[in-house]
Amino acid sequence: MRQSEERFRRLIENASDLLSILDTEAGTILYESPSAERILGYTPADLVGQSVFSYVHPDDLAHVDQAFRALVEQPQLPVKADARFRCKDGSWAQLEAIGRCEPTVHVESSEP
């Protein structure tokens, strides 16, 4: 079990895609993968605790909100949304988000 967990942790830490865990109530970021820094310029610590919607381009917000609601209402179905996300330097990155709702995900901090 420990080896499996270590492999999974290394996979997540070295993934080229953003991997996020969001709270289903408000879209608060509970976990963000280290790739956020390379892709958006934010460290994971910059993003955790923030609403994902605050990083979505205003013109894409309604679409992203609709996709998020669909994901919560029908957790058995994956949902896809394309949107622009604000980078730390103020520019916008076009991202494709594919989400799944996992009803019982527990996030543990690796900080002391």
pLDDT value at residue 112: 44
Buried b (16+ CB within 10 A) or exposed e, 77-105: eebebebbbbeeeeeeeebebebebeeee
- Domain tally, the chain: 1
95 domain residue, yes or no? yes
What's 8's domain CATH number?
A: 3.30.450.20
Domain that holds residue 19: 2-99
**Alpha-carbon distance 95 to 39, whole Å?**
10
108 domain residue, yes or no? no
pLDDT value at residue 102: 74
Cβ-in-10-Å burial (0-12, 13-18, 19+) of 46 comes to middle
Predicted TM-score (pTM) of the model is 0.80
Neighbours of 1 (CB within 10 A): 5
pLDDT in tens, 54-83: 999 999 999 999 999 998 898 888 899 999
52 domain residue, yes or no? yes
pLDDT value at residue 34: 93
pLDDT value at residue 108: 57
66 domain residue, yes or no? yes
pLDDT in tens, the chain (112 residues): 788 788 777 777 777 789 899 998 899 999 999 999 999 999 999 999 999 999 999 999 999 999 999 988 988 888 999 999 999 999 999 999 898 887 655 555 554 4
78 domain residue, yes or no? yes
112 domain residue, yes or no? no
Contacts of 40 (CB under 8 A, 6+ apart): 18, 55, 85, 86, 87, 88, 93
87 domain residue, yes or no? yes
pLDDT value at residue 103: 63
107 domain residue, yes or no? no
